Structure 1
Amino acid sequence: MSGGAAAQQQTFDFDLPQQPLSASLKEYARVSGQQIIFTEDLVLGYVGKPLHGRLNAADALDKLLAGTGLFVEHTATGAVMIRRVERSEPALPAPHAPEFAGVPVEEVTVTGLIHSLQTNLNIKREADGLIDVISSEDIGKFPDVDLAAAMQRIPGVTISRGVSALGGVPTSIGTATQITVRGFGPAFNETLFGNRQVASGVGRTFDFSAIGADFVSRVDVMKTPDATLSSGAIGATVNIRFPVPFDHPGFNLVGSASTTISPEQGNLTPTVKALVSDTFASDHFGILIDGAYSVSRTRGNHVNIQGWQGTRIADAQMAGAAPGASTALTTNAWFIQDYGIYQEVTTDTRVNGRAVLQWRPHDEFQVTLDENFSRDTLHARQYGFSVWFNAGSLSNIVQDSSGTITSFVQPNSPTDFQSQINGSVLQNNDTGINVRWNPLQKMTVNLDYDHSEGWLNPGGQLSSLDADVGYGPSTPGGIHGTAVGITVPGGHTLPYPTGYGPAGNAADFLDPDLIGSHVLPIVSQRRFDRVQQARAETVWRENENLKITLGYQYIGDHDNVRVFNDFANNQWQAYAGYGPSSNNIGTHGVALPPEFFRGGFSTAGFITGFGGSASLPPRILAFDALSVLHYLQNLGNPQTTTIPGFNVGCCSPAFDGTYRVVNVPENYSQVIENTNAAYLSISARTRIAGMPLRINGGLRGEYTAVTTIGLGQEPTTLTVQPSDHTAFLVNYGPTTTVNGHNSYQSLLPNLDLTLEPREDVQVRFDVSRTLTRPPLSQITPVLTVPTILRVGALTASGGNPDLMPYVSINIDLSAAWYYQHNSYLSVDVFNKNVSDFIVQGSTQQNINGVIDPTTGLPAIFTTTTNVNGPQANVYGAEVAIQHVFGDSGFGFQANATLVDTDKPYNPQDLTVSGFAVTGLANSANLVAFYDKDGFQARIAANWRDKYLDHFGQQQNNSRFGTEPTFVNASTQIDLSTSYDITPALYVYFSAQNLNDATFSTHGRFAEQLLDMVDYGRRFTLGVHFKY
């Protein structure tokens, strides 16, 4: 007797009133401990018969369904499926669950990890397309602490741990922020909330760290498109689902409290969350409210190189150069532009809330109103030491075989200490209403409207305030400089500075009496995004073998970006010059109180997994940026008071003693994007050679109109600078509004075929056409001309409002063997042919009739912008296995993804800039778990190989175009456990990054390390209850 059949013979005490059949089935599942799978549409309008007394599970279910025309099928995985067969149609062998696409599937399970995994398998198996699912183990109990970390267990999905919205020097706090699917990064994936597009404060990408996982009911990662949902994404569509009151009839109260500590940081931080829901008036009304508040704090150690700049150097600059060696710049080389050692303390405060109202006046009509809110506040204190280098100033150079400069000296260099306050606020608010109506037994009408808003720094919060102080020469005649250099040992050894300290005296490196003011950059990045959408859809379900969906969707996206800083008014240099002790002429700065500079941090054992800490300066200054800011502002108004050290004439408008940020016109942009779409989807079931075959075909047609708005200033004249006859000073006309317009049509078909040659084997073939729209930052219509230009090298850059979407033809072939309950083995191969990749292009043109004063002819500018260009194939394979060892409670999951392209990055090619397929990385996951008798434990290891993340580094001045950034390979191990004290109360413990993994990046070659961040581990202990 099968496990499912045996379970049906067990007896239970039932006490179910007459009520909607959906509620009866869910209560039946709770009492019997069985998994029931059905669609709401299937049971809508039916009333469950009263059920009282002690009955075996099979008889009880028969009584519930009596007179409904519905019947029961047992799947090969042990679940119970509710089906309907039209009597006039020939019956087919039962599927294992209802079709997925476009239909909300109810999975009612016993709680727990193993049952959650079985639920995921059932949905994956019965979906029309390729999908992977992570579902909650119970209401309010998601398997991972954040969504992206959970998704990295899925084949083909890898995560980024970089902070996407934090100002200042880029870093990592270890939190999973964004995902890459099959090599396609965040910009190529779309995220939906319950089938709806959401606004974002970070552009087209989505930052998963802003959304708590606490009350997510399910996450679907769809690797093939569903024409009824969206235009699809070249990577994947992520659909996040939340609970609603009718999913959990009756009264439910769920809550938890926990505390988290990072041993490296040392402070306990709290997390509290609660959910309450109830249905009343015979389940005609329902309400659900949940909220969560969490704080985490991380201390990170960080060695940062802001860019490896490509240049050419002379023989005379090389180590051991003979007297009279050539000074001609003939040798290709890459050098460090800026080197820094930092320590960062980051606090992440997350608030999430949700409210849902549901009304079902009768079984054929249902209204759902929901409101979602999230706010994620990042605040970081960053302390460090840094040195800036220029190619022409380097001497005693040593290069490796790639041309990377691995050792050098720069004489008479100043020393900078920095204290940065970096932050961001990401806020989202989403309000939606959905109406579902069954005017006929075979017909369902869905109406949906949603209004979503996303902000970055909604209150004008600062992204970065950087108090830069130090000592050394900033003008000829300055003192306290040192012959500093950087040695790059290569491998897993940290680059380290040599010759630091005033005049090379390391003992006085941190002498507070030498320290004076230098620059004070302040930046505030702000973004507001509003998405409005409406959908009208009709579903006709002729019988179990045929379903037709026809619909229309409108999506309007209005994105606004503004940047404020104190560069535009030049106030950042008001007190530049390192103070009187450095004796700089022209720019001076002021002395700062020595008591500001008594603190610091040790660099001993600085970055786990990297040697060379002993070669770093043993201690780095840590001071308060606000103390420096307030001290400078308390000096008074230099326009009315003589302040020694103030840089007279530095600022426009004149500096009055108070630092202010001003709007930067060239960074302002608006994008208004309106899309109208019509779609048709047909799902059918038939046989071929006696084998069940599911066919799902879809067609989506879209028309998109885009308007872009920016603020620009065109050049009017060029003036040769008296102090430097090789440079022009650019004069500009007034700021004007610049508009751009574009539109395009897209026809996006998809076909999914699923064949079952055996009851436990599936073979799938999927082909589709999907698109990804261009990044919003690249379609601004503004052309920017730098303030200072070189004679004979006039440049300009800008966006391109005429950019078209990336388009991909996708083919998948997969096979899966569901060889026993809660166990399977699958192999999937795929190919994506992507066209219209966006690359940099340049043209020669005159701008606004400007004349070159050195020739008397129209000035010719080399204008760089983005254009649609080449195509590439991305191909790969995914292998996955899940196995549960009978009733032992033990099991494991393992998967691996191999991915490659015919357009890889070639670091030796110096003629191509900005095109190669990014994000491609082989990856693997291994999860071992135990779930039995109230005890649950899981240990998960995730490995990701090195990959090309993006083009661009913090300093982008390379002679060889835009330099790349690679993320180095990493492995992270996480652990989670829980123990049920009572059926309603359990305690839990989790450990993130048990192996103390680090985050690191490099440039064109492996030895060109960029960022090395040790973000430490995190431990959580908590208690969870459910009533």
Structure 2
Amino acid sequence: MADGFMKHSFKQALRASACALSSMTLMASAAAVFPLSAAAQAQEAGQISGKLTNAGTGTPLAGAKILLVETGATTASRNGGRFEFRNVPAGAYTLEVSYIGLSDTTAAVSVAEGQTAEIDVAMSDLMLLDSVVVIGQRASQASGLNQQRVADNLSNVVSADQAGRFPDTNAAEALQRVPGVAINREEKGGEGRYISIRGLDSGLNNFKINGINVAQTDTETRRVPLDVVQADALSKIVVNKTLLPDMDGDGIGGSVELETGSAFDLKDRLIRFNLEGNQNDFADKLGGKVSATYGDTFGADDRFGVLVSAIYNKRHTMGYNNLQDEDYIPYFEQDEGEPVDLSGGNMLIPWWFGLGNFDNERENIGGSIALDYRLDENTSLYLKGSYNRLEDIELSSGFFIIADDDELYQDGVYNPEGGTVYRVRSEYEESVFSNSTLTVGGSTSHNQFVFDYSLGYALGIFEEPNDYEVGFEFELSGPVLYDYSDPFFPQPILSDDDQAAIRDPSNFVLGGNDIDLDDSRDEKYIGQFDVTYEPGISWLSYVKSGFKLQRSERSLFEANVLEAEGDLLLSGAIFEGGLLDTSDIGSPYGSILRLNPSSVKNWREIAEQLVADGVLENAYAGDPLDADSYEATEDIYAGYLMAKAVQGNFEFLGGARVEYLDFTSNGYELIESEDGESVLPRTSKSNNTQFLPRFQVNYRPSDKMVIRGAAYTSLARPEFLFLNAATEIEIEDSNTISAFVGNPDLKPAYAWNFDLGAEYYLNNIGLVSGGVFYKSIDDFIFIDAAPEGETSIPELNARFPGYNIDVETVFNGNRAEVYGAEFAYMNQFTNLPGALGGLGVYGNFTLQETSADTGLEGREDVPFFNAPDYVGTVALTYQKYGIEGNLAYTFRGESLEELGPYLIDKYQQSYETLDGQLRYALNKKTSIYVNAIDILDDGLDPVVNKTLGKEGRYPEDVTFNGRTVTFGVTLEF
């Protein structure tokens, strides 16, 4: 075994070395093309190194465009306001600097042979604007717009302060203000959790924190829950809509970069505290948030910087959840693959339907640290770490009406043979999501070369240490039909006797109950090395090459701990919890029985004691391991080569990236037979190589306008759920076996992407932009839904001779496509008189169309999951006289949530939200504010409304939780 491990490690080392050698060889070849050697140039040329600041505030400015007039070379200021021109011959030069919201500035600088000329440039406010324009929310907007303008690719940049000017709790909700981004809300609390970009679900995009790929906490998919990250824990969010060769291969929708800050971004020492309270409409408890940030520079020439921040946020939400927990079925029996004809008295019936009241306590803990060191004028080093944790404790109470599914039809008509029960149920869940990243790296320049290097580690953990569900049941007198006249609350049609019986606890005995254990872990180890060669030729800005190694070690452990069976009555002091009034949300169900919350929280101890006493039995007394459990490693070796050329007002960027993937899965084989269950280990392996050409053209006719076009490829790797080697085998009788196995040979989805757009930037911190995009995707696979078909496992034939063995697995889908258009507008009306000069507007609107041939029968043309036809935001902003405010209306259309039976799919209905913030500066160091989230939500309209079918007649998952108000104070020292 050790020998095998060494051979495998040696192969990996060879692949890594090959990637590195290939990239560096290409770089050396590119350098050799040019007749003037680096050594010869180094003897003659020097360089310019500078820092750009706001003259009024001293704040470093990132995103400014800087022109070296005499050579025509351009560059952009980075974080901390730093910029450089390399390979500059000795002589006198003029810098022209442009920054949206500030006056254009010129500066003279002289370069001595072989020396570095240091220069600090301070920019002043535009004469036509109030001096307040470059502080507060307008400064934040200006920062984002300037960085977006000078970027080589199409991107949207949201600064932390800009995100903080909206009442958004987490990173997902901050991103919903970006063109083309839609959020998928968490079902109970109503907070944004996942995002889609241009119609592509979260699992089909790329997410990073400080340049390190985020480790997954989702148990089965590649989705990244962004409610783990608080919006005010970040300094900047970048959404890359087009990808360059030096960016990861995955991310068909786009790439999201979450960045924490640096002390070099500050004008001087920063000590900031934020104290906040929050209140949800239905909750009876007040929540709160406290955050603190400290940043400063030290040492000779302030070469060392430290920035640390911490945040704690606790909030209570309460609401109601109307849930159809299984599938709707037609009244008249038919094949699931055929569409339902709802004429002639036919209807759809939820055979598992209920209402729940939830009481959530959500706690976020976050922290970050950034240590930066400028060793000398050529080398800078950094260490950045971040920690984000979300603990969600939920207690829900309610009822389910459940039909026995052993035989739902008799004589072709809905009439469950096993009867229908009314279940009084409660669930207690403790879910913990955590994400940690640590990266160390730096940048070194030497003559015509710039070397960037980093090592990173990311850890994602999902734990559910306590997950209890307990229910007590009463058998109803007959099958239950429903009245759908209320769009949110299907009314079960019960007899008078049943209506009375379901409110009497003495009629109920122990029914469905379950205790589960879930533990998911993802560790990523990442190394990256990039070399940029600047030949000093006017038409060729640079040639760049590099390689990246990433190992992901992922595991999932699922276990069934306890399912209690036996006679146990609801009536009595232990489990009776009185009545729950559901009239808060206009529910027609009135007051319903509920279980004692304290007993539900302690169900594990109670049930284990009852089993120990012999009162109940544990149905999971055998091996509780779930067949979905697995351990997997995914190694990615990537290398790329690219260049940037400039001709007049045109910029040409292009190159290619190659990624090799090696995947190993260690799962389990679960065999079910009349003799019980057995579990055996199972291993599978696969690999693939992807070639990814990418091209970008930018046309800049002026400092205010950019026209961009791009053609590039990207990929999305299949879910671990589908790649897992887990095998489920059922021995049905003496000669028949059915089996289902994962497919590690699934191909990544591969996309060609095309973009064309224009951006015009306004002097008074504004923007007018529009663009179109198209994506053609091969081997597309839906999240949680892949085509299934027959395959074979030869070893099973040898192990089970004489049996007829039917084996099914998952396959790639067929082709999919996305096309759409994005528009954005931002403006500040500073030319208006008096108080009106503080007004501003912001808006964006995206139209998109998605279509996929899934490979599933009858599903040849369906939209993508979480891909609304339209999404947008319109906001009114204000900043003057120490007052800052905004009122933002965000809206989105309906979107496909899940593929359903009978060719009737599940949809998230359209929704809109109106959010507001008002902030007042008491002085330069202290401000107070109030936020209102979902202002128009009085609790009678759902924050989440998922239905079967587009029409919204059949509710699937409908959540009501009302508005939330927060209020706080920010202090700086």
CA distance in 2, matches of 1:359, 1:111: 28
Question: Quick one: structure 1 residues 782 and 44, their matched pair in 2 at CA, closer, same or farther if it must change by over 3 Å?
Answer: same
Q: Which residue in 1 is equivalent to 2:465?
A: 461
Q: Distance in 2 between matches of 1:76 and 1:590?
A: 71
Provide the C-alpha distance between the structure 1 equivalents of 2:233 and 2:604, rounded to a whole number of angstroms. 42
Shift of 1:225: 0.6
Residues 605/895 of structure 1: CA separation in 2 closer, same or farther (3 Å cut): same
- 1:529 matched to which residue of 2? 522
After superposition, the Cα gap between the structure-2 partners of 1:265 and 1:289, relative to the gap in structure 1 and judged at 3 Å, is same
- 1:367 corresponds to which of 378, 381, 389: 381
What is the letter of the counterpart of residue 553 of structure 1? K
Which sits farther off after the overlay, 20-29 or 879-888? 20-29
* Contact 2:895 2:908 (8 Å CA) reproduced: yes
SS of 1:556's partner is strand
SS class of match (2:172)? helix
Query: Any gaps of 5 or more consecutive residues in structure 2?
Result: 1-46, 65-75, 113-120, 122-131, 335-343, 832-836
Partner Cα distance (1:34, 1:45) in 2:
10
User: 2: CA distance between counterparts of 1:603 and 1:803?
Assistant: 47
What does 1:335-734 align with in structure 2 at a 5 Å threshold? 335-390=349-404, 413-440=420-447, 442-457=448-463, 461-462=465-466, 464-472=467-475, 481-483=476-478, 485-489=480-484, 492-499=487-494, 503-504=497-498, 506-542=499-535, 546-566=541-561, 571-575=562-566, 588-590=567-569, 592-594=571-573, 596-606=575-585, 613-614=587-588, 616-624=589-597, 625-626=600-601, 628-635=603-610, 637-638=612-613, 643=615, 646=616, 650=619, 652-653=621-622, 663-687=624-648, 692-714=649-671, 729=674, 734=678
Which of residues 824, 830, 842 is equivalent to 2:767? 824
Residue 424 of structure 1, CA deviation: 0.8
Deviations 1:787-807 (A, max 9, x none): 7x4899964322111111111
SS in 2 for 1:118: helix
**CA separation of 1:923/1:314 partners in 2, compared to 1, >3 Å: closer, same or farther?**
closer
Amino acid of the structure 1 residue aligned with 2:325: Q
Return the TM-score normalized by structure 1: 0.77
Q: 1:697 to 1:109 in 2, by over 3 A?
A: farther
| 3-state SS of paired residue (1:785) | strand
1:868 maps to which residue? Answer: 812
Q: Distance in 2 between matches of 1:1013 and 1:245?
A: 43
Partner of 1:927: 875
Q: Which moved more, 1:143-152 or 1:174-183?
A: 143-152
Q: Deviations over 1:56-84 (max 9, x none)?
A: xxxxxxxxxx9995623335754557899
Q: Is the 8 A contact 2:60 2:80 kept in 1?
A: no
Structure-to-structure mapping, 1:785-864, within 5 angstroms: 785-786=729-730, 789=732, 795-838=738-781, 839-843=786-790, 845=792, 858-861=803-806, 863-864=807-808
Q: Which residue of 2 aligns with 1:267?
A: 285
d(CA) in 2 for partners of 1:22, 1:145: 39
Contact 1:371 1:429 in 2 (8 A): yes
The separation in 1 between residues aligned to 2:454 and 2:148, in whole angstroms, is: 26
For 1:147, the equivalent position in structure 2 comes to: 171
Q: 1:799 to 1:196 in 2, by over 3 A?
A: same
User: With structure 2 as the length reference, what TM-score do the two structures score?
Assistant: 0.82
Aligned ranges for residues 37-116 of structure 1 at < 5 Å? 37=64, 38-40=76-78, 69=93, 71-74=95-98, 78=102, 80=104, 110-116=134-140
Asked if structure 2 preserves the Cα contact closer than 8 Å seen for 1:515 and 1:594, the reply is: no
Shift of 1:1025: 1.4
Matches within 5 A, 1:112-191: 112-137=136-161, 144-162=168-186, 171-191=187-207
**AA in 1 matched with 2:844:** N
Q: Distance in 1 between the 2:54 and 2:912 partners?
A: 43
The structural deviation recorded for 1:851 is 11
Q: How do 1:24-43 residues align onto structure 2 when only pairs under 5 Å count?
A: 25-26=52-53, 28=55, 30-31=57-58, 37=64, 38-40=76-78
Over 3 Å counting, the alpha-carbon distance change for 1:411 and 1:665 in structure 2 is closer
Q: Which has the higher contact order (CA 8 A, sep 6+)?
A: 2
CA distance in 2 between counterparts of 1:143 and 1:29 reads 28
Alpha-carbon distance change, 70 to 820 in structure 1, aligned in 2, over 3 angstroms: closer
Aligned equivalent of 1:736: 680
In the alignment, what sits opposite 1:579? none
CA apart distance, 1:138: 8.0
Give the superposition deviation at 1:965.
Answer: 2.6
Distance 2:877 2:827 in 1: 10
Cα distance, 1:550 vs structure 2: 1.5
Segment of structure 1 superposing worse, 370-379 or 139-148: 139-148
The whole-number CA distance in structure 1 between the counterparts of 2:644 and 2:168 is 34
* Pairwise CA distance, 1:308: 2.3
Query: What residue identity is the alignment partner of 1:443?
Result: F
1:317-363 Cα distance to aligned partner (Å, 9 max, x none)? xxxxxxxxxxxxx9997531301110001111000011222222322
State how far apart, in whole Å, the 1-side matches of 2:373 and 2:106 are. Answer: 24
Candidates 753, 760, 771, aligned match of 2:697: 753
Deviates most, 749-758 or 350-359: 749-758
CA distance in structure 2 between the partners assigned to 1:312 and 1:485 by the alignment: 11
State how far apart, in whole Å, the 1-side matches of 2:63 and 2:758 are. Answer: 26
The 1:542–1:75 alpha-carbon spacing in structure 2 relative to 1, beyond 3 Å, is farther
Structure 2 residue matching 1:113: 3-state secondary structure:
helix
Contact in 2 for aligned 1:201/1:427 (Cα 8 Å): yes
Q: Tell me how far 1:398 sits from its aligned partner.
A: 13
Aligned to 2:934: 993
The alpha-carbon deviation at position 846 of structure 1 amounts to 7.6
User: For 1:76 and 1:822, how far apart are their aligned partners in 2?
Assistant: 6
Residue from 952, 962, 969 that aligns with 2:910: 969
Would the aligned equivalents of 2:329 and 2:351 in 1 still touch at CA under 8 Å?
no
Whether the 8 Å contact between 1:840 and 1:914 is mirrored in structure 2 is: no
Residue 295 of structure 2: aligned partner: 277
1:303 equivalent in alignment to 2:322: yes
| Number of the residue aligned with 1:783 | 727
Number of residue pairs aligned between Structure 1 and Structure 2: 863
Could you say if the C-alpha distance between residues 964 and 848 of structure 1 is closer, same or farther in structure 2, counting changes exceeding 3 Å? farther
Shift in CA distance, 916/798, structure 1 to aligned 2, threshold 3 Å = farther
Question: What is the rounded CA distance, in whole Å, between the counterparts of 2:162 and 2:663 in structure 1?
Answer: 43
Task: Indicate conservation of the 8 Å contact 1:510/1:621, yes or no.
Answer: no
The alpha carbon displacement at 1:966 in A equals: 1.4
Alpha-carbon deviation of 1:700?
1.1
User: Deviations 1:222-259 (Å, cap 9, x if unpaired)?
Assistant: 01112213114101100111111222254210110000
Shift in Å at residue 817 of structure 1? Answer: 2.9
Q: Distance in 1 between matches of 2:470 and 2:376?
A: 64
Q: 1:15: which partner in 2?
A: none
SS in 2 for 1:869: coil
Query: Contact between 2:642 and 2:654, CA under 8 Å: does it hold in 1?
Result: yes
Residues 883, 921 of structure 2: 8 Å contact kept: yes
The answer to whether structure 1 residue 1023 and structure 2 residue 972 are counterparts is no
Residue 1003 (structure 1) aligned with residue 952 (structure 2):
no
By how many angstroms is 1:735 displaced? 2.8
Find the counterpart in structure 1 of residue 36 from structure 2: none
Structure 1 residue 594: Cα displacement: 4.5
Could you tell me whether the CA contact under 8 Å between 1:222 and 1:238 is conserved in 2?
yes
In structure 2, do the counterparts of structure 1 residues 393 and 490 end up closer, same or farther at CA, with 3 Å as the change threshold? farther
User: Once the two structures are aligned, what percentage of the paired residues are identical?
Assistant: 19
Within the candidate set 865, 880, 888, 1:918 is matched to 865
Which string of whole-angstrom CA distances, capped at 9 and with x for unpartnered residues, describes residues 501-559 of structure 1? 8x42x234222233332232011211110001111112233457612222111111111
Give the conservation status (yes or no) of the 8 Å contact 2:659–2:689.
Answer: yes
Q: Deviations over 1:250-286 (max 9, x none)?
A: 4210110000001211211110000111211121222
Specify the SS of the correspondent of 1:519. Answer: strand
Partner residue of 1:893?
842
